[in-house]
């Protein structure tokens, strides 16, 4: 199951790069300083991009812009990146790899910087994984990094190089900004944005603040009926010398009905491709099997009936990834972990073949699903659940309960009629 889980996870992460994303009106400026109006593929970048995809119109072929071919691009008043060639310090804040040197270690690189504030003084951001660096520019100074670095001063002691405060105090002076204001300024995006906005306002300078419109998460409620195909194998762990007869029981696959209510919250980032799920589900498995068996070395023939009564409420919690196909259709992939509330659970047999009653007790298990959604209203999913032991409380017995499901869905509530891609 672990291998299957990892396989699905790799597929999901791979599809993230290929799933359809909307092209938005924007522009690029090439190395000849020519501004070209175009449509840019909005990937809702959390890390600084190294390339972008764009096209000149809806029907044109997709082109790729890189640090080698463009020096600026933007989408409306939401996103703007500029090319920067200069020094950046990538010193780590990981305590296991942190050094004792207070000074930043600069290396010249070519990067796209996100423009946060643009006016008499500009603020930029570079982000790559856990690394975040801020840069600034004034009318008198070209772009340079605001310096902040953590470093060791002992085996378990750390200090901070906060030279960015000195840079700001020396180069962004204004009557409304005091030393105390600078000393309270943390190396955080929100605080630095507010500082640069205040500086531009203090100088009565026109400025632009680039930020994406805040998205709200989408909340969906869906009815999810379906069919389960389940099988159960019971195996005795008794010593064959003490109990010479085989005590194994193999129930063939049985179809049963399931009904669930899915609560889904679509996360407000990465163009609504990720969501978290909670799906309370009623399920029932009640097979009955009659067969003959021999005991005492095959000298006595008996008939037994084994009945299973296994009814429960599953409580799966999981994550879902959407891969957009068109405006109205998308694939999705689920990974979930389910706990279970057993409403009634017993395995009964006659003639001493099994203990008179085996109580059903279960642990949680993983499930993997793949499905399709149409118009954010209708869905179908195939789900595979890992096998589970449903008689785990009995030391002399093993069981292997397997289940696959075909699930249909109908969304009865959506707090937004159309999900943004």
> Over the stretch 199-216, which tens digit does the pLDDT of each residue have?
999 999 999 999 877 667
Return the SS3 of 24.
strand
> Over the stretch 67-103, which tens digit does the pLDDT of each residue have?
999 999 999 888 999 999 999 999 988 888 888 999 9
Q: What is the dihedral of CA 292, 298, 300, 306, to 10 degrees?
A: -30
> Over the stretch 113-130, which tens digit does the pLDDT of each residue have?
999 999 999 999 999 989
Query: Residue 100 burial (CB < 10 Å; 0-12/13-18/19+)?
Result: exposed
Return the SS3 of 276.
strand
DSSP 61-99: PPEEEETTTEEEEEETTTEEEEEEEEEEE-----TTT--
Which bin fits 301, alpha (ψ -120 to 50), beta or left (φ > 0)?
Answer: beta
- Residues shown for the chain: 421
Euclidean distance between CA atoms 266 and 276, whole angstroms: 7
Is the pLDDT assigned to residue 185 strictly greater than 90? yes
**Direct distance between the N- and C-terminal alpha carbons of the chain, in angstroms, rounded to an integer:** 32
Closest Cα to residue 233, out of 127, 31, 339, 391?
A: 391
Closest Cα to residue 171, out of 198, 134, 139, 148?
A: 139
Is the pLDDT assigned to residue 353 strictly greater than 70? no
> Over the stretch 119-173, which tens digit does the pLDDT of each residue have?
999 999 999 989 999 999 999 999 999 999 999 998 889 999 999 999 999 999 9
> Over the stretch 329-339, which tens digit does the pLDDT of each residue have?
999 999 999 99
Question: What is the separation of C-alpha 388 from the centre of its chain, rounded to a whole number of angstroms?
Answer: 26
Per DSSP (E only), the strands in 171-287 are 208-209, 218-236, 249-266, 274-278, 281-285
How confident is the model over 386-393, as a mean pLDDT?
Answer: 86
């Amino acid at each position: 199951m672990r291998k299957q889980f990892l396989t699905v996870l790799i597929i999901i992460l791979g599809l993230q790069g290929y799933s359809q994303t909307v092209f938005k009106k924007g522009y690029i400026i090439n190395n000849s300083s020519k501004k070209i109006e175009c449509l840019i593929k909005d990937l809702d970048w959390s890390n600084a991009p190294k390339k972008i995809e764009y096209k000149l119109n809806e029907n044109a072929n997709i082109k790729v812009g890189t640090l080698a071919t463009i020096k600026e691009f933007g989408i409306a008043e939401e996103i703007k990146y500029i090319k920067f060639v200069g020094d950046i310090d990538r010193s780590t804040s990981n305590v296991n790899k942190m050094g004792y040197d207070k000074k930043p270690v600069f290396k010249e690189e070519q990067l796209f910087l996100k423009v946060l504030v643009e006016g008499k003084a500009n603020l930029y951001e570079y982000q790559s994984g856990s690394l975040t660096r801020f840069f600034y520019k004034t009318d008198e100074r070209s772009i340079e990094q605001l310096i902040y670095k953590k470093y060791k001063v002992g085996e378990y002691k750390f200090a901070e190089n906060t030279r960015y405060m000195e840079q700001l105090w020396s180069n962004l002076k204004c009557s409304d900004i005091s030393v105390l204001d600078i000393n309270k300024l943390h190396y955080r995006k929100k605080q630095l944005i507010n500082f640069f906005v205040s500086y531009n306002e203090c100088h009565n300078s026109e400025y632009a603040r680039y930020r994406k419109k805040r998205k709200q998460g989408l909340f969906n409620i869906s009815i999810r009926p379906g069919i389960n195909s389940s099988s159960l194998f019971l195996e005795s762990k008794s010593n064959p010398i003490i109990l010479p007869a085989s005590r194994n029981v193999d129930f063939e696959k049985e179809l049963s009905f399931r009904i669930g209510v899915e609560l889904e919250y679509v996360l407000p980032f990465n163009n609504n491709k990720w969501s978290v799920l909670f799906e309370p589900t009623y399920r029932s498995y009640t097979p009955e099997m009659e067969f003959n068996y021999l005991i005492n070395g095959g000298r006595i023939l008996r008939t037994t009936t084994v009945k299973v009564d296994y009814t429960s409420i599953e409580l799966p919690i999981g994550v879902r990834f959407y891969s957009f196909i068109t405006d109205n259709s998308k694939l999705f992939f689920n990974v979930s972990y389910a706990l279970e509330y057993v409403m009634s659970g017993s395995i009964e047999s006659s003639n001493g073949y099994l203990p008179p009653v085996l109580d059903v007790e279960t642990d949680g298990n993983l499930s993997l699903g793949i499905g399709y959604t149409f118009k954010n209203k209708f869905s179908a999913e195939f789900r595979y659940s890992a096998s589970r032991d449903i008689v785990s409380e009995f030391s002399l017995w093993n069981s292997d309960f397997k289940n696959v499901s075909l699930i249909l869905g109908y969304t009865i509530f959506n707090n937004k009629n159309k999900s943004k891609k």
